[in-house]
Structure 1
Amino acid sequence: MFLTNHDMVDLIDFRHELHRHPEISGEEEQTARRVLAFLAPMKPDRILTGLGGHGIAAVFEGAEPGPTLLLRAELDALPIEEKSEAAYRSTVPGKGHLCGHDGHSTILLAVGLSLSRQPPKRGRVVLLFQPAEETGAGAAAVIADSRFAEISPNLAFSLHNLPGLPLGRVALTDGPVNCASRGMKIRLLGKAAHASLPETGRSPMMAMARLMPALTALSASAPPDRGFRLATVTHAVLGEQAFGIAPGAGEIWVTLRTMVDDRMAELCAEAEQLARQAAISDGLELAISYDDVFLHCENAPEAVAHLARALDAEGIPHDGGDLPMRASEDFGRFRALAPAAMFFLGSGETHPALHNPDYDFPDELIGIGARVFRRVVQNILG
């Protein structure tokens, strides 16, 4: 056992400290400072800070040349109010660690403790604490940072906890495991009018009423079919909050989701065409923009084999589970750089779902996740 009971107490206390002070995507400054303070006594051979925003990379070097392994966790929390009776519940109104990134970061710190005591024999391990995963912006920003070239990996690994899966059991498979997605904003602009004379204006109301069901009708199939696609209207606003004004503007937000990247352009084109038709038919101006762009995650067979070998060595049960997932994850961007794979660590069959206000990361997973990563390092780098 490479973690002592004292280590586990410190790690759990640290996880609870992160949980009390959640910071959402792009705002993880204090989270990064806490991670750095915990890392400092481990004396990594190198630490990069401010990577792609508030990202941190801790590098542990082996004595001999060899490949670079990247292990990634996330720093950001969610803009959701936590509903919990835990003593360490969020102290920040409207924000909470309701996806488990506090636990994922703690797992990486546990690996760092082990590496500080027994560095790899060869190559190097990069522990990446990535910002802004929830918006899909973080991985792209880290990779675009000029300093990332200095730590570019030969293999990349990550994990995510998964409610609904028995506690400590792992879902792992090669091929697609998370969908591509992006947020599409459709703005329709007409002309406001006095509510007593709506005919003197151009309201987007009817266009929006037609467009929302038309967008959702673009959905087709289900995972693991590579033709799977889903359009989900997530937000809509019409006019002003006033009784005296007939609306002159409206906005629809829709999340577009496909099993693989090469189907996304087609779905976007069809959604844009529907928006254009709705605008033209009602004499409205149209503006379209995109946010929260995620590439699909695809596990490389080579990287999956390394994870499976580590799981077997640690006696951790695993199978393909219900993969691939509909949800998105921006770890998918790392597959363009090196063979990459993510495994999914069960949080319990009845555990509250991710992004639910009563979700909390199970502390029991800290040791399990760290054991898997440490075994991968030992198997590859010695």
Structure 2
Amino acid sequence: MFLTNQDVVELTEWRRGLHRHPEISGEEVETARAVQTLLTSAGADRIVTDLGGHGVAGIFEGRGPGPTVLFRAELDALPIGEISAAPHRSRAQGKAHLCGHDGHMAILAALARGLGRQRPQHGRAILLFQPAEETGAGAAAVVADSKFREIAPDFVFALHNLPGMKFGKVALIEGPVSCASRGMRIVLTGKTAHASMPETGVSPVNAIAQLMPALTSLGSGGPMSESFAMVTVTHAQIGEPAFGIAPAHGEIWATLRTMTDAGMDALVSKAEQMAKDAARDSGLSVEILYSDVFRHCENAPEAVAHLRRALDAEGVPHDRGDLPMRPSEDFGQLGANAPAAMFFLGAGEDHAALHNPDYDFPDDLIAIGSRIFMRTLRDLVG
């Protein structure tokens, strides 16, 4: 074990400090500053800041040429209030680390301490603290940043804690591990009328009523396979809260989800045509907007092989678990540029679920996660 007992105590407190002061996607200023301070104290050879927003990358150079190996954690918290009596509970109203990104950062902080004491024999290690994972915008912004070309990796690794799975066990597979998804917003516009004479206007009511079940019928879920598709209507709005006006404006929001990016392209085409047809039939204009766009996340076989060797060497139990999974992860953007793999680390079968208001990252995972990452790194660069 490369961490001392004192390291574990200090990293746990560092994690809890992040938990007290969460910052949501795009606002991670103080979190990034805390990471920079940590990387400086650990002795990083170089620190890249403002990467794709508030992203931070710590670079630890090896003694000779070799591969660049990148490990990623996320900076952002969620816009959800926390329900907790813990002394380190969130002090930010309506914001909290309820996905465990504070714990993922602590795992990379542990790596930084180990690398500060013993540099790689060859190549270099990159510790990337990525912004805005929760919105799907962060990884794409990092990759698009010109500074990312300076640290272009040969391998990329990440983890995510997973409640509902036995504590300390790992789920890992090759191929798709999490779905592509995107938020689709359909805006319909007609003409208002007096509520007593609705025939003189153009209302979106019928189109909205038609689209809600029709969109859902495009994908109702089912087994996780290449053909998996799901459409979930998340919001609908028609007109103003008034009794005297027949509405002119309507919106319907839906989350589209598929196993692969190719499947998403096909689903988007069908959903857009459905919206256009409904608008045409009711004499409405239509605008279609997208947000929270996530590519599917795919584990490269060669990257998975390195993780499996590390898990076996460290005696960490692993299998495929329930993978692939429905939730999305923007790590897929990083995997488009180098062999990449993400594994899922069990947080306990009875642990509160991700995004629940009573969730908190299990501190005992810091040592386990960092040990797996460090073994993976040493096997690659010595």
Matches for 1:363-374 after TM superposition, within 5 Å: 363-374=363-374
How far did residue 347 of structure 1 move? 0.8
Q: Which runs of 5+ in 2 are unaligned?
A: none
CA distance in 2, matches of 1:28, 1:278: 41
1:266 aligned partner, one-letter code: A
Summarize deviations over 1:231-273 as a string: whole Å, max 9, x none. 1111112212333332211111111111011111110011011
Work out the CA distance in 2 between the residues paired with 1:197 and 1:87: 60
Equivalent position of 1:40 in the other structure: 40
- Aligned partners of 1:221 and 1:227 also within 8 Å: no
The range that moved more, 284-293 or 214-223, is 214-223
Cross-structure match for 1:293: 293
2:2/2:114 contact within 8 Å kept: yes
- Alignment of structure 1 residues 1-382 onto 2, 5 Å: 1-220=1-220, 222-382=222-382
Cα distance change, pair 303–223 in 1 and its aligned pair in 2 (3 A): farther
Aligned to 2:123, what secondary structure does the other structure show? strand
**Distance in 1 between the 2:74 and 2:45 partners?**
21
RMSD: 1.2
Query: Which deviates more from structure 2 when the two are superposed, residues 356-365 or residues 317-326?
Result: 356-365
Count matched residues.
382
1:155–1:339: 8 Å Cα contact kept in structure 2?
Answer: yes
**Which range is displaced more, 288-297 or 79-88?**
79-88
Q: How far off is 1:199 after superposition?
A: 3.1
SS in 1 for 2:158: strand
Amino acid at match of 2:285: E
- Cα offset, 1:220, TM superposition: 4.9
The alpha carbon displacement at 1:94 in A equals 1.5
Larger deviation, residues 57-66 vs 191-200: 191-200
* 1:72-97, Cα deviation, whole Å (9 max, x unpaired): 00001111111222211111112111
Amino acid at match of 1:293: V
* Structure-2 separation of matches of 1:2 and 1:222: 44
* Contact map agreement 1:220 1:227 (CA 8 A) in 2: no
Instruction: State how far apart, in whole Å, the 2-side matches of 1:191 and 1:86 are.
Output: 53
Structure 1 CA distance for aligned equivalents of residues 192 and 7 of structure 2: 63
Q: Is the 8 A contact 2:39 2:47 kept in 1?
A: no
Could you list the per-position Cα deviations for residues 274-302 of structure 1 after superposition, in whole angstroms to 9, with x for gaps in the alignment?
Answer: 11111111111100011111111111111
Tell me the secondary structure at the aligned position of residue 328 of structure 1: coil
Between 125-134 and 92-101, the greater mean CA deviation after superposition: 92-101
> Displacement of 1:46 after TM fit?
0.7
**Percentage of identical aligned residues:** 65
Amino acid paired to 1:229? A
Unaligned ranges ≥5, structure 1: none
Q: Is the 8 A contact 1:223 1:259 kept in 2?
A: no
Distance in structure 2 (CA, Å) of the matches to 1:88 and 1:196: 57
